[in-house]
A and B are shown apart, each in its own frame.
Chain A
């Protein structure tokens, strides 16, 4: 299997990371060498193996739905790159 530039473009779109042509080629090389290494798993027959989905094997616990942090709006907003009147600002979405 080989990852071509078209696939890199596709993954870059899915991951929301813009990649220019020059970097795309380097990434394709890197990913191909990593996947070559990963292909080793195909040596194993795993049809009858149940996948490991949780390492701790605990059941999820419920907790009461209580507000623990109060009046932190200002602190939270302070971390945003752009804000206005207690809202996060993003580039215009609707024309």
Chain B
């Protein structure tokens, strides 16, 4: 089988279970393609030699009852992997080797998958274009010099470019859904509390969630089923009855009520995004669902709220990088000087900017004006959703206000970069699940995504809606392999 890397996760699992393919065949194919794809810069660290050993070992005694039998998989370099370097895209962690495994990746290996390597991302997941990574920007497989989105840019590029059958990213303000939209793949941000945060390099702890990024909805449902477990090691992990998402997946969404929020029709939004949204509305209607106009009145306050809450939590979380127990250390004349130089040389510009915003809004005299104010507005944003969900089962919006942009286009203007996340950030602030599915192309031929937002812990419902829409949309990603020599 020559086109192994073109197969979806679901197909690969079936073929391995039916013994039509071995784990070694599959692992080799993805390693070979990854090796030819260095121009994408999707990997920070590869683990190919060990991956092939593990695949051979799996084939000697294959356990075909597992959900991911012998499936190779690269993951975002924000997940701690035992004995494999974990950098979070930062110079300050460029030699850090964790002594423990994140719960989410442990769940994946326990189901038979094999680590291919660690994927590039914005430094500490702070960015919307993968340009803040210490290890260089990532290319979008769609076109040369196009950003893949961020922060899970390496993950999105690796799935769209077929370097891994599926992957996991993390999403604090849109870091799974925005890159998924920019690269023409599916990305699910689960409900806060659904997937354990244990062993994920922390950015903003009240917003961070891990989630699957794959070629299609069914693949993501399968991976979500694997990664979502209750974990006592994360005090915000929620013990609820989890569905067998892939088994219970259905295209029957007849009678579902889908909300269309008028506040997502923002000023200056390109016509092609509006057209795509209208097409999406037609698709859900064609599937037998009903659309209802709703209002989420505080939508425009979500980004300013996010840019207080997220940096505040980040400034606190990143206080641990002091050059003492692990990571990069600069020479200093005394302890304080060592701290200050270590952090100045070890963190990149965007991370420093956010630490400083966070420090400022939490500093004496400003706490009430900024942080407390933001937490109050966050409550209003959550109330908007609670109110809407009295009338509807899910909400349909565009994933992003534009398609992917060129590398370097927005790096000098932080605010214009932040505006990328205008449709995704409210979902994190309210702790809800959201999924982005590819739904069309713009005039340049770049992919565009639609987002379905669900009620808390109602992942099954948004997966079902996405599954039904996916069939109607029949999206084909335009990958030309331009980077392969």
List the interface of chain A (C-beta within 8 A of B): 3, 7-8, 10-12, 14-19, 27, 30-31, 33-34, 37-44, 46, 49-56, 58, 60-61, 63, 69, 72, 75-76, 78-82, 88, 90-93
A58 touches B374 (CB 8 A): no
The listed residue (A37, A46, A58) touching B304 by CB distance below 8 A is A37
B232 at the interface (CB under 8 A from A): yes
Interface of B is mostly: helix
The listed residue (B192, B344, B415) touching A37 by CB distance below 8 A is B415
With a cutoff of 8 Å between Cβ atoms, the chain A residues found around residue B359 in the complex are 11, 14-15
- Whether A63 touches B356, Cβ cut-off 8 Å, given contacts A16-B336, A55-B431, A92-B334, is no
- Whether A41 touches B379, Cβ cut-off 8 Å, given contacts A15-B315, A16-B322, A69-B99, is no
Q: Considering only CB atoms, which chain A residue lies closest to B363 in the complex? A: A14
- Whether A81 touches B327, Cβ cut-off 8 Å, given contacts A14-B359, A38-B307, A46-B377, is yes
With a cutoff of 8 Å between Cβ atoms, the chain B residues found around residue A14 in the complex are 359, 363
Q: Mark B358-383, 1 if CB is under 8 A from A, else 0.
A: 01100100000010111111111010
B329 touches A56 (CB 8 A): no
B344 touches A19 (CB 8 A): yes
A12 touches B356 (CB 8 A): yes
- Whether A79 touches B326, Cβ cut-off 8 Å, given contacts A41-B305, A56-B431, is yes
List the interface of chain B (C-beta within 8 A of A): 95-97, 99-100, 192-193, 206, 232, 235-236, 238, 298, 300-301, 303-305, 307-308, 315, 319, 322-329, 332-341, 343-344, 347, 352-353, 355-357, 359-360, 363, 370, 372-380, 382, 413-415, 418, 430-431
A15 touches B356 (CB 8 A): yes
- Which of A11, A33, A38, A79 is the most central at the interface, judged by chain B CB atoms within 10 Å of its CB? A38
Nearest-neighbour CB distance to chain B for A55, whole angstroms, equals 4
13 more A-B residue pairs beyond the given contacts A37-B415, A40-B304, A54-B206, with a C-beta to C-beta distance below 8 A: A15-B343, A16-B343, A27-B352, A33-B415, A40-B300, A55-B206, A55-B430, A76-B99, A79-B326, A88-B324, A90-B338, A93-B334, A93-B335
What are the 8 A-B residue pairs with the smallest beta carbon separation, nearest first? A51-B375, A81-B329, A55-B431, A79-B326, A18-B340, A52-B379, A46-B376, A49-B376
A41 touches B193 (CB 8 A): no
Q: Give CA–CA (A62, B301) in the complex, Å.
A: 36
Interface of A is mostly: loop
With a cutoff of 8 Å between Cβ atoms, the chain A residues found around residue B328 in the complex are 81
- Which of A15, A39, A91 is the most central at the interface, judged by chain B CB atoms within 10 Å of its CB? A15
The listed residue (A37, A41, A90, A91) touching B374 by CB distance below 8 A is A41
Q: Give CA–CA (A8, B343) in the complex, Å.
A: 16
28 A-B residue pairs with Cβ-Cβ distance under 8 Å, sorted by A, are: A3-B360, A8-B356, A12-B356, A14-B359, A14-B363, A15-B315, A16-B339, A17-B343, A17-B355, A34-B415, A37-B303, A38-B307, A38-B308, A40-B300, A49-B376, A51-B372, A51-B375, A51-B376, A56-B236, A61-B232, A69-B99, A79-B97, A81-B324, A88-B325, A90-B324, A91-B333, A91-B337, A93-B335
Q: Give CA–CA (A12, B355) in the complex, Å.
A: 9
- Which of B319, B355, B430 is the most central at the interface, judged by chain A CB atoms within 10 Å of its CB? B355
With a cutoff of 8 Å between Cβ atoms, the chain A residues found around residue B192 in the complex are 55-56
Q: Considering only CB atoms, which chain A residue lies closest to B238 in the complex? A: A56
Q: Give CA–CA (A61, B370) in the complex, Å.
A: 30
Q: Give CA–CA (A45, B92) in the complex, Å.
A: 41
B373 touches A79 (CB 8 A): no
Nearest-neighbour CB distance to chain A for B8, whole angstroms, equals 32
B325 touches A30 (CB 8 A): no
- Whether A38 touches B334, Cβ cut-off 8 Å, given contacts A17-B352, A27-B353, A79-B97, is no
Nearest-neighbour CB distance to chain A for B364, whole angstroms, equals 9
B357 touches A79 (CB 8 A): no
Q: Give CA–CA (A18, B331) in the complex, Å.
A: 13
A38 touches B370 (CB 8 A): yes
With a cutoff of 8 Å between Cβ atoms, the chain B residues found around residue A33 in the complex are 413-415
Q: Give CA–CA (A75, B304) in the complex, Å.
A: 42
The listed residue (A17, A49, A75, A88) touching B379 by CB distance below 8 A is A49
